[in-house]
Chain A
Amino acid sequence: MTQRDFLLPDVGEGLIEADVVTWKVQVGDRVVLNQVLVDIESAKAIVELPSPYVGVVVALHAKEGDTVAVGSPLVTIEGEIEETPATSEKPQREAVLIGFGVAPEGDAPTTRTRRSTLAPSASRVDSPSTPTVSTGPASAVRAAPPVRQLAKQRGVDLATVNGTGPNGAITREDVERAVPNEATTAPKSPSVATRFVGRELASWDEGEREERIAIKGLLKVMADAMTESALSAPQAALWVRVDVSATVARLASLRANPAYADLRFSPLTLVAMAVVDAARHFPGINSFFDAAANEVVVKRFMNLGIAVNAQRGLLVPNVKNADQLDLLGMARALTDLSDRAREGKTTPEEMANGTFTITNIGPFGIDGAIPMLPLGTGAILCVGSVVKSPWVVDDQLVVRDVVEISMTFDHRHIDGALASSVLAHIAAYLREPPNN
């Protein structure tokens, strides 16, 4: 048995580091040659890294979201290949003509020979009967991939769980039982608190006095887009509080319908329907100010952008041709869109050509906000959290479900009257959602 580190290679001609996006394997997994181990994001692209070794994964050296330096260990794989002792050394890397290479050892330019003893004929150890899994030091956990995924979502360390399934395998029920009580009520994903700018500190004394963070990746995308938005488009905002008790009741009945068990309904579903309906009545809101062409472009379709709080940061994918969707179609599209964003599967194509945007800050427990206008659109709607509030109905004070919605618009071509009409229309829709 030999353990070998797969060092992060320079996959893009002169990269010095890359971010881990998604692990495709976990500790204990058996991998074959060229099986995809991980997606990494460099300054140039998101790429898949295939395994150079056959064997069992015994360690992942970085978490999703971590930045790893080129030449640092990414994953350790234990295989059954006899190797020269020199292999475990980690070669230093240095700049060569194209990108980075392995540094010469002393003055002998032959460092590549270290790996040359890998014999492909002996490298096939992917027979399922090979007892590697039970002998590996960190690979004793038995659990199916969906169960591992569940454990990850629930923040459960599988090594601490007793399996009750066949051969001691850990089942979904075992994982659910092991979920710490507070985890079910704590803010949703544990990663949410760590992905923002600046690491969470255990105490103020920890580490350096300043943490310097490179502005790149999604951070740079957000910075550039917001700067250009602020500097190019004069923006104004307005807001309204709405009694959405009827919307809340409607959602409850949809959720209770067993025919729709696979769909997720939230206030956002009906807000999206309201936005599409408003844009049909007032097309001017679904438009953008094309300064280069000296024209206002009014869209006869709506690609409805949704700001999603993904693991990697803020993403704004859009539902293509949202104007064509009925309520169920919208629920399905929004579920799919947010799932894909949270799983890191959103493509640049899904983020391109949005025509109107909704940002939903309700899940954070925030009442309202004045959002910034995404480039290439005319307006963005913000939905706050739905709260029980005192409300006056027929001169009586009653408790109703109330939400604040606000909208920022490009005041170069959209005036206050149009924006007000749109927001009032959306409010009316949510106050009494039509039966459709």
Chain B
Amino acid sequence: MDLLSNLALGFSVAASLENLLFCLIGVILGTLIGVLPGIGATATIAMLLPITFQLEPVSSLIMLAGIYYGAQYGGSTTAILINMPGESSSAVTALDGYQMARRGKAGTALAVAALGSFFAGTVATLLVALFAPPLTAVALQFGAAEYFSLMVLGLVCAVALAHGSFLKALAMVVLGLLLGLAGTDIYTGAPRFTLGLPQLADGFNFVALAVGVFGISEILRNLEHGQGDREVLGQNLGGLFPSRADLRRMVAPMIRGTALGSALGILPGGGAVLAAFGSYTIEKRLSKTPEEFGKGAIEGVAGPESANNAGAQTSFIPLLTLGIPANPVMALMVGAMIIQGIVPGPNVATEQPDLFWGIIASMWIGNLMLIVLNLPLIGIWVRLLKVPYHVLFPIIIAFSSIGVYSVKGNVFDLYAVAAFGLLGYVFLKLRCEPAPLLLGFVLGPLLEENLRRAMILGRGDPTVFLTRPISAGLLVLTLAVIAVMLLPQVRRKREEVFVEED
């Protein structure tokens, strides 16, 4: 059985003392970040990215992955206790979780969220292990034309799932692609968009862009309003463990949520968020007591929590098999891999099986650590919720500055952080989502390279994208996504879904 031996290899890598330690640091940091207000997982990973470069590639990716799903967990804690989702994907959890907390069932809500996430994490990890190898085999058949078409599909999906206006998200992707092209042209050596600055010969620094656009701009947005004190529920958590009746009510939503989340997580552009909303809608539809939803229905916590965690996990599939990031966090992982000297893509599984399977195994270990850590330590996290915002800003700024500077010891990158921070803030004010920009930035150079290569291989004939079946299929799918997006009913529905979240 290949799967078993592969998993065994993975666990032997992930269970080494060193990697366990980094996994633990990752999930603790992630939970901390998820609980603390004002900064999301993307910004944190961007900040901590440079620090992990000192580590072995496997350890560094394990730690980054730990931060990612740790933040998902922490985000649900704040959603339940203070009605403030730390991550956009736990926005749905706030709907019923917070109501449960107000009714004195905060402990149960937290436990349900944790159990749901753990169940989903376990299933999704298995799915990643099952589906990654066959997809890798398919991906190895991919030529330049297929890669190009796949990336176009990925970017269009990212736009489709972004919040707010379709046109604005599309414009952000294009802008990201353009920014990604800056630097020296790989074929001719011609400098592009370098503004005559030698520091831009290698293009814009990825970490500086991510920290500026996600971290700094988010701080600025938080500073707009005088920050009111937050009401923290759960001084009295109530019984932590769900009663037998509660357990029975949460099983089916958990399974449905996991299935939905696993499927949508593979989609580029934040499938986890959509999965959580989808699961909530399904549970409400199926429930015999839909009127309970919004007033503390346990199904409304179990379903979406499982869905978003499953989605977070399966979004590793496109990254590990194709080297295509599904969301901004995965884009950062691509950045991390490239800086570590690993070319993300189908070759990772065959050339570095220990890395590939080690990461997969560590996901399950990480999820286990989270449940073991979080339920007993919930009191500490609750206390952390009371940390005032304004204390965090200097800490974040200091760590971001150190992080960005340590990438290359380049002072110029710090000025770029300030510039991208301003740019990100302007776009936030103009209601343009930064996530598509980051995806565009990462994919820009790859997209161009594959386009040029495909055109050379096709002797300048653009039909090369249509005559190769996989490529044509992907492009048809892209058109279908665009067509669906433009349907008036879908447009209205989509706006509703994303408005609900605010």
Answer yes or no: are A and B bound together in one complex.
Answer: no
Binding site for A on B (CB under 8 A): none
Binding site for B on A (CB under 8 A): none
